[in-house]
Amino acid sequence: MNFIILARLYRRLGRFADSREYYAKAFSTTMGARSESDLIYTEVCLARLSADEGHTGDAFFGWLRAALHWLSSRVPEAIGWRTAAAIADRAVPPEASVADEVTRALVKILADAAGSAGVEAKHVAHPAAFVNAEDLPAGTFDAAAGARGGGVLLSRTRKQPALAGQQIDQLSALVYGLLASLNPALPEQAATVALDTRFGCGVPWEPSELIGSALTFGAPRILLEDRNVEIAEPARSAFEMDLQLHPGPAVREVVTTDGASILRFKRYREQRQLSAEEIAIVAAARDGLTLRDASGSDRRLDHVESVARQLECDRLMRKLSTTLRQLGFVISFLQVAC
């Protein structure tokens, strides 16, 4: 919290480089373990700082990601008072609806930020439902769609969001219209837009991260800028095998106590005792471990994938699509897109 206070102080003093440094220090302690409120607050703080710096594009993308996190939140009523105040730019009165105040403020701020950045939202007749990607079963996603500043997953399966109402419809239409403007390959309408928060790490920014989301949730296509690329076999299996396991950014250390290996987190989460198999995977993944190598000759791939998925859910591990084969795909993909 001291880092946050210093960051806000430096921002008010106009010392923006110092402010950004202390925000980075503060947010590094929650990376990989962020709550929904943390994810929104991180984007809002950096968006306001970018606006003060005169970086209108960065400010716009920050507000767009904040709106995505808000619309897809599972428990919006649990938003922290500090996060709500940061969005509304004032303390929300006790008698007011926090959801209404936050949504109303986001509609105005995002529209203004888009205008400053020169981005015009496309018309959307029927607003999509925004949800967390983990609330839809794998195989129901049609595509992973990305543009500058972030990416989402699309599904024709309608999922009931936690937030509803006229103001939410207005914000949903605005957000999807902006995404469609940034990515011409997006369909005019989508039943459901799902957000992969990457287990507390936030919206996928880079093409390689979007590939990771597509592989994780079984999306068969990637829409990037104005390109539509299918991830077909055997490429899909090769990419999945080359996904790398790394220790999660929320992990602080692994210690041995009375013969048991205990993993401790930087913040929030309770320490966890590791099984012998988990110890082996965590140790091998310190410098990056592909699923191909983890499966080896004595473990089935589907078993390793199941263990890796659970380790991700528990914030112990993080799967990254950064191997040479996938980077080569990304590079060729971007060359085609250009």
Q: Which residue has the higher pLDDT, 294 or 72?
A: 72
Is residue 78, in this structure, part of any structural domain at all?
Answer: yes
Residue 71 neighbours by CB under 8 Å, 6+ apart: 130, 161, 163, 168, 171, 172, 175, 193
How many structural domains comprise the chain? Answer: 2
Instruction: For residues 72 and 134, state if they share a domain.
Output: yes
308 lies in some domain: yes
Q: Is it the case that residue 15 has pLDDT exceeding 50?
A: yes
pLDDT single digits (tens) 176-214: 999 999 998 899 889 999 999 988 888 988 887 888 888
Do 155 and 265 belong to one domain?
no
163 and 283 inside one domain: no
Mean pLDDT across the chain, nearest whole number? 87
Whether the CB-CB separation of 97 and 115 falls below 8 Å is answered with no
In a domain, 202, yes or no: yes
Q: What is the pLDDT of residue 315?
A: 81
**pLDDT for res 231:** 83
Regarding whether 189 and 108 lie in a shared domain, the answer is yes
Point out the domain boundary residue: 205, 230, 255.
230
Q: What is the mean pLDDT of residues 33-52?
A: 95
Of residues 160 and 208, the one with the higher pLDDT is 160
pLDDT at 322: 55
The pLDDT of residue 161 is above 50: yes
Give 229-234's long-range contacts (Cβ < 8 A, gap of 24+).
Answer: 229/333, 229/336
What is the domain range of residue 113? 31-230
**Is the peptide bond preceding residue 234 cis, with omega within 30 degrees of 0?**
yes
Prediction pTM value: 0.86
User: Would you state the pLDDT for residue 338?
Assistant: 40
Distances (CA, A) of 332 to 76, 207, 231, 311, 320: 40, 11, 13, 31, 19
Is residue 109 domain-shared with residue 148, that is, in the same domain?
yes
The yes-or-no verdict on residue 42 having pLDDT over 90 is: yes
Share of the chain above pLDDT 70, in %: 93
